[in-house]
């Protein structure tokens, strides 16, 4: 959880970060995850108070507030506004219900929503509650994304943003509206879907209660944001047809902007709405990224969190040559294929015997960064193939964009320029741009993007290093294919 305060030109003023956690409720097994809304709201309030305090300003000087959140996370509200359920995107309790939906209607569901598998999305969760907690199911009055719920807490309005609702698996991606046909296919209830509004819309004002809780001034405009990846596209200025961005956070979605919905005939990728009107997004995600890097940090350096540790990791990886001296990593990042999911073998491969090699921590770190870069390339190739568009450059955001080693590897792997912004918290910046638009500072998202998107450092590929990485990438792809076949052979 973090909260960013910016100026009206997009420059960061203060930033607050807080940790939060999930719980596994009884009756959901190991796959079920929820969060406590009261505790979560308290963390949000503390973040807001902290950024205002750090900035040394009065709350009345704040022109507006918005929110962004992880995709697929959802909150169910009752008629009286009580949170009946609040779950993150890793709540997979509806695995059985989603699998049944896909076996019966998966092809049509994907054609409508641009998203599969269904167990990740709200229709399957609703079916789970109907079967397992009917008393809760009967009380559901409104479905909100997590960022929609934050907006509700701030101003009391129950509305939903188009991109976020699409990422719940409930919207017809063609019409950008709630899908009646999907409700028929899935047997979903009517009347629980709030008004859809575009990102950058002012939907209310901070209530007196929210002002007391957050330290914001009552009456401050509350503006609709968008999901984290979509806000990141805004924050990176990725809005024109054929433009591409990659957000290196917990995961690493690679996305390309299209001027119409592009649906993959093989259902490998996701299709969603772009926050700007008349724009859509085709996504091919590399999967886990920052989560893998954080895991490696814990394995090599222990549990203690310190920026210095990540600086050391970057330094060690930079000392190792391209190709990590034949060390290969297969620890998560891969080519997106949502039609084929499941556990498969992975890990590190390196030359043996160890008596004649000198494999150290830096080799493992660099191999993990190269794994991520190879996966981004594979996903960009998949995006080009499906969209029939050529990616001429990639804009990069997220916490891993701070890695000097990674941003030097990536353009040489992709063979195209990579642009890195001066502020890597691009999702929060995108929400700030929405806020500036909704509070009247700018007349449209396009104008807000032009005024607030940061400066970029463009890193060009080096011809000799690119040639080296062509061979290493081909070897990585061949080994990844071999691991997939090994997985299938041992089932």
Query: Which of the four pLDDT bands, split at 50, 70 and 90, describes residue 480?
Result: very high
- Asked if residue 254 belongs to a domain, the reply is yes
86 membership: H or E segment, kind and range: strand 83-87
Q: What is the mean pLDDT of the chain?
A: 94
Identify the H or E element spanning 257: strand 251-258
Report pLDDT for 491: 61
Q: Are 183 and 278 members of one domain?
A: no
**CA separation, residue 115 to residues 3, 171, 383, 446, 456 (Å):** 29, 10, 15, 27, 32
Last residue of a domain, one of 196, 226, 256: 226
* Res. 490 pLDDT band, cuts 50 70 90: low
Phi, psi of 49 (to 5 degrees): -60, -40
- Burial class from Cβ neighbours inside 10 Å (0-12, 13-18, 19+) for residue 19 reads exposed
467 and 489 assigned to the same domain: yes
pLDDT class for 16, splitting at 50, 70, 90?
A: very high
Say whether both 190 and 281 belong to one domain: no
Q: What is the pLDDT of residues 90-130, one digit of tens each?
A: 999 999 999 999 999 999 999 999 999 999 999 999 999 99
Query: How remote is the C-alpha of 230 from its chain's centroid?
Result: 8
Regarding whether 242 and 152 lie in a shared domain, the answer is no
Domain membership of residue 479 (yes or no) is yes
For residues 118 and 247, membership in a common domain is answered with: no
Q: Looking at the structure, tell me whether residues 250 and 202 fall in a common domain.
A: no
Same domain, 260 and 301: yes
The residue out of 179, 204, 226 marking a domain boundary is 226
**212 and 332 in a common domain:** no
Residue 320 pLDDT level (bands cut at 50, 70, 90): very high
Q: How confident is the model at residue 286 (pLDDT cuts 50, 70, 90)?
A: very high
Same domain, 285 and 202: no
Do 60 and 126 fall within a single domain?
yes
- Residues 181, 247 share a domain: no
Structure tokens given for 203: 């939907």
The H or E element spanning position 475 is helix 463-489
Q: How many CA atoms lie within 13 A of 109 on its CB side?
A: 27
**Interior/surface letters 213-226, b for 16+ CB within 10 angstroms, e for the rest:** bbbbbeebbbbbbb
Summarize pLDDT for 402-419 with one digit per residue, the tens: 999 999 999 999 999 999
Q: How far does Cα 137 stand from its chain's mean position?
A: 28
Last residue of some domain: 195, 226, 257? 226
- pLDDT for the residue 1: 81
Residue 232 within a domain: no
Which pTM was predicted?
Answer: 0.94
The span from the first CA to the last CA of the chain, in angstroms, equals: 39
pLDDT in tens, 177-232: 999 999 999 999 999 999 999 999 999 999 999 999 999 999 999 999 999 999 99
Domain that holds residue 305: 237-491
231 located within any domain: no
- Domain shared by 171 and 300, yes or no: no
State residue 273's pLDDT score: 97
CATH of the domain at 74: 3.30.420.40
Number of domains in the chain: 2
């Amino acid at each position: 959880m973090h909260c960013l305060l910016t100026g009206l030109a997009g420059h960061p003023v203060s930033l607050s970060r807080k940790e939060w956690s999930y719980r596994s409720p009884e009756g959901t097994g190991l796959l079920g995850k929820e969060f406590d809304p009261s505790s979560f709201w308290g963390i949000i309030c503390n973040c807001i108070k902290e950024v205002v305090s750090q900035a040394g300003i009065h709350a009345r000087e704040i022109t507006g507030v918005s929110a962004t959140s992880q995709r697929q996370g959802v909150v169910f509200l009752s008629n009286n506004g009580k949170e009946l359920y609040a779950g993150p995107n890793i709540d997979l309790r509806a695995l059985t219900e989603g699998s049944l939906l896909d076996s019966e209607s998966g092809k049509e569901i994907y054609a409508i929503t641009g998203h599969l598998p269904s167990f990740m999305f709200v229709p399957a969760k609703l079916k789970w509650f109907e079967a397992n907690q009917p008393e809760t199911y009967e009380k559901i009055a409104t479905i909100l994304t997590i960022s929609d719920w934050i907006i509700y807490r701030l101003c009391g309005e129950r509305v939903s943003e188009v991109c976020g609702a699409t990422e719940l698996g409930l919207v017809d991606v063609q019409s950008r509206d709630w899908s009646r046909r999907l409700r028929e296919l899935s047997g979903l209830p009517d009347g629980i879907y709030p008004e859809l509004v575009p990102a950058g819309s002012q939907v209310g004002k901070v209530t007196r209660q929210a002002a007391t809780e957050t330290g914001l001034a009552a009456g401050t405009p509350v503006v609709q944001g968008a999901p984290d990846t979509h806000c990141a596209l805004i924050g990176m200025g990725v809005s024109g047809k054929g433009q591409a961005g990659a957000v290196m956070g917990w995961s690493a979605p690679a996305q390309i902007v299209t001027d119409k919905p592009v649906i993959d005939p093989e259902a490998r990728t996701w299709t969603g709405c772009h926050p700007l009107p008349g724009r859509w997004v085709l996504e091919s995600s590399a999967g886990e990224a920052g989560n893998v890097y954080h895991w490696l940090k814990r394995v090599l350096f222990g549990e203690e969190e310190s920026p210095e540790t990540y600086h050391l990791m970057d330094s060690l990886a930079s000392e190792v040559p391209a190709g990590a001296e034949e060390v290969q990593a297969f620890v998560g990042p891969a080519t997106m294929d949502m039609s084929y999911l499941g556990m498969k073998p992975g890990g590190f491969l390196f030359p043996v015997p160890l008596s004649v090699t000198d494999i150290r921590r830096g080799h493992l770190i660099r191999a993990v960064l190269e794994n991520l870069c190879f996966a981004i390339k594979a996903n960009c190739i998949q995006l080009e193939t499906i969209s029939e568009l050529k990616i001429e450059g990639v804009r990069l955001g997220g916490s891993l964009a701070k890695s000097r080693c990674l941003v030097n590897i990536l353009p040489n792997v992709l063979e195209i320029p990579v642009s890195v912004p001066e502020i890597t918290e691009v999702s929060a910046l995108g929400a700030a741009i929405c806020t500036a638009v909704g509070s009247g500072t700018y007349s449209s998202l396009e104008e807000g993007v032009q005024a607030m998107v940061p400066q970029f450092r463009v890193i060009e590929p080096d011809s000799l290093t690119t040639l080296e990485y062509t061979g290493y990438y081909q070897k990585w792809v061949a080994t990844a294919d071999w691991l997939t076949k090994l997985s299938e052979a041992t089932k």
